[in-house]
Structure 1
Amino acid sequence: MPIFGAIGIASTGATVYRKWLDAVSDNIANMNNATDTRSAAFQAHYIQARAVNYGSGTGGVEVAAALRSGNTQGRVVHEPDNPLADADGNVRYPDIDLGEQMTSLIMAQRGYQANLSVVDRARDAYNAALQLGRS
């Protein structure tokens, strides 16, 4: 492993968690976007991660795919006062569960923070090693 391997691996983890945070925040921001019943509902975003050089301990992690949910039907809600309502007074909303998204948000935040902590600790260890070399 290179001397700065811990920082490199932790930074790949932080990048993946940041992209997960972006996807979750996009889902939460769009969960109340109504469309007419003829249009597709907003599709939730999901991030799929994979190990780089699995088993070697030197590759870190990367985003394998940025996926969208397959659910374009969403949920139909009766809101006759909504300007997008059809003749029956219905509009379409995305089928996004706020509880699930908030759970994902907390997990992504904690993972992001953990990876940044690894970077901080590795930097401190490298600085301490440099100080020993100067003595």
Structure 2
Amino acid sequence: MGMFSTFHVAGSALTAQSVRLNAVASNMANAESVIGSDGKPYRAKQVVFAATPMGNAAAQGVRVTRVVEDSSPGRLVYDPRNPAANERGYVEMPNVSVVDEMTNMISAARAYQTNAEVMNSAKQLLLKTLSIGQ
């Protein structure tokens, strides 16, 4: 794998992790939203990744294929005074697990940081190689 392929692979990973961090931020911001923009409780969003060739056969990057809604059921909270409560007094809350989202955020942030370090290391190696040739 060539030096420039390293930049492409790490760059694709940075872009993918950025989308993942945005999805986590959206999920966290709407974790307590009773009614979403469509009039229903917010549904957690999950990012789906896929490997993608980058230039030559040896280099594999990553791309976001789609962002999907989590199909797991929402939480039911007993609050009969809430206007969104059903006839039994339960309010359907978003299916966002704050613990899972925090784990996703830490994982995505570390992956982003690691790929930024890969790009920085590749840049330093390239600069060192250029200085040797002088």
TM over 0.5: yes
1:20-59 correspondence runs (5 A): 20-35=20-35, 39-53=39-53, 56-59=57-60
The structure with more strand, counted as a fraction of residues: 2
Does 60-69 or 107-116 show the bigger shift?
Answer: 60-69
Q: Which runs of 4+ in 1 moved over 4 A?
A: none
- TM-superposed CA distance for 1:59, in Å, is 3.4
Which stretch shifts more, 107-116 or 86-95?
86-95
Code of the residue aligned with 1:7 in structure 2: it is: F
Contact 1:47-1:67 at 8 Å conserved across structures: yes
TM score, norm. by length of structure 1: 0.84
Letter of the 2:79 counterpart = E
Give 1:3-14 correspondences, 5 Å limit: 3-14=3-14
Mapped partners of 2:35, 2:22: distance in 1: 23
Q: 1:74-89, aligned counterparts within 5 Å?
A: 74-86=74-86, 88-89=88-89
TM-score (norm 2): 0.85
Structure 2 unpaired stretches of 5+: none
**Offset at residue 86 of structure 1 (A):** 4.5
- SS of the equivalent of 2:34 reads coil
SS of 1:61's equivalent in the other structure is: strand
CA RMSD of aligned residues (A): 2.2
Instruction: Determine whether 1:62 maps to 2:44.
Output: no
Secondary structure of 1:56's counterpart equals strand
Q: Which runs of 5+ in 1 are unaligned?
A: none
